[in-house]
Structure 1
C-alpha cells in the first residue's frame, strides 16, 4: 500500500513539474545590421535592415532558467555601397539562435529576462555582384520582458532585443579575394507567447 501511495505521489509530482515547461513565441522582428566593412578599391560595404517573422520555442527548467531556440523564415539583406543600394544585389540567410536565459520571476505581471548563447548565419542564397557567401557562427546576447495580463492563464506579450556577432566571408563577382562583411545585427522583436 505504501509503495502504491509513493508511486502515485511521485507521478503527481512529475506531472506537476512538467506543467508550464514549454513556451511558444510568435513575433515580428526588425533585423538591423550595425556593422560595415571598408573594402579597398570599393568603399564601405554593408547589409541593409530587414523585417522578419521570428517564431521561437522555449523550455523552462524551472521558474528562473530556460533555453530558447529562435527560428525564422529566410532573411534577405540588400547590399549597399557607401550608403547606396547596389541594384539587384542581396544575400539571404537563416539565423538559428540558441540562448540560455535567466528569468527574473517575481510577483508582478512583468518578467524581465537576459540570455547568452550562440547564433549562426546559414547562407540561403546570393544575387547580383555577390559571387559567394560562407556560413558563419558567433555569439548572441538577449534582453527582454514578458508581460502576462492578470486574466491570462497561459498567454502573454513580449518584447526583446538581441545582438548577434556575425561576420560572414564574402567574395564578389570577378574577384578572388574574400572579405568579412560585418553584419552584427540587432534584432528587435515584439510578439505573443503561450506557455504549456
Structure 2
C-alpha cells in the first residue's frame, strides 16, 4: 500500500505544541537528549540534528562542533532561533525547515546525524533513515533517541493499543527497537553499537568506514 503523508496535519500539531513544548518536555527528555548529543559530539565536528524542534538540545553541544538543525515546523524553529540568539549558541550554524524524508544536503556531509524524538512520527521512518545514511560520512553514527518499545516487552500489546490515541497528540507508543536494528542490518553498512534501556532509549547505528 502507498504511504500516506499528512505533513500539513503534523505541522498543525507542532504549531500547537510549540507554545508549551519546553515546559512539558525540558526535564522529561533531558537524559536521553544529553546522551545522544554526547555520542554525536564524539563522532566529529559536523553534526545534523533532524527534528530539532524548539532547540531543547542545542545548548548541550560542545562549542567546537558545527551544528545544523532541521525541522518540519516553522513555529518550532522560531522558538529555537530565539534560543540561539539569547543564549549565544555560536556553534549552531543554521536552522531550517526541512522534511526528514527529503533532506536538502549533499552526500556524506556530516560526521553524525541525530534524530531526537522524531523517528517514530515521520511518515516513512525507513526513508528518513535512508536519507540520514546518504548524508552521513563513513565511520559516522546515526543516533536515535525516542520512546521505543523492546520487542520482547510484556507491555508491548498495551502500547500498540494506545498508539491511535498517542498519534492524535503528536506522540508514539508502539515503535519497536527492531525496526531500527533491522534497517541497519539490511543495509549491510551499519553496526548497532548501542541500544539503551529505560522508557526513553538511545540507539546508535555506526556506518562502517570506507574500504581502502
Structure with greater helix share of residues:
2
What TM-score do the two structures reach when normalised by structure 2?
0.25
Instruction: Select the structure with the greater relative contact order (CA < 8 A; seq sep ≥ 6).
Output: 1
What TM-score do the two structures reach when normalised by structure 1?
0.26
Structure with greater strand share of residues:
1
Q: In terms of Rg, which structure is larger?
A: 1
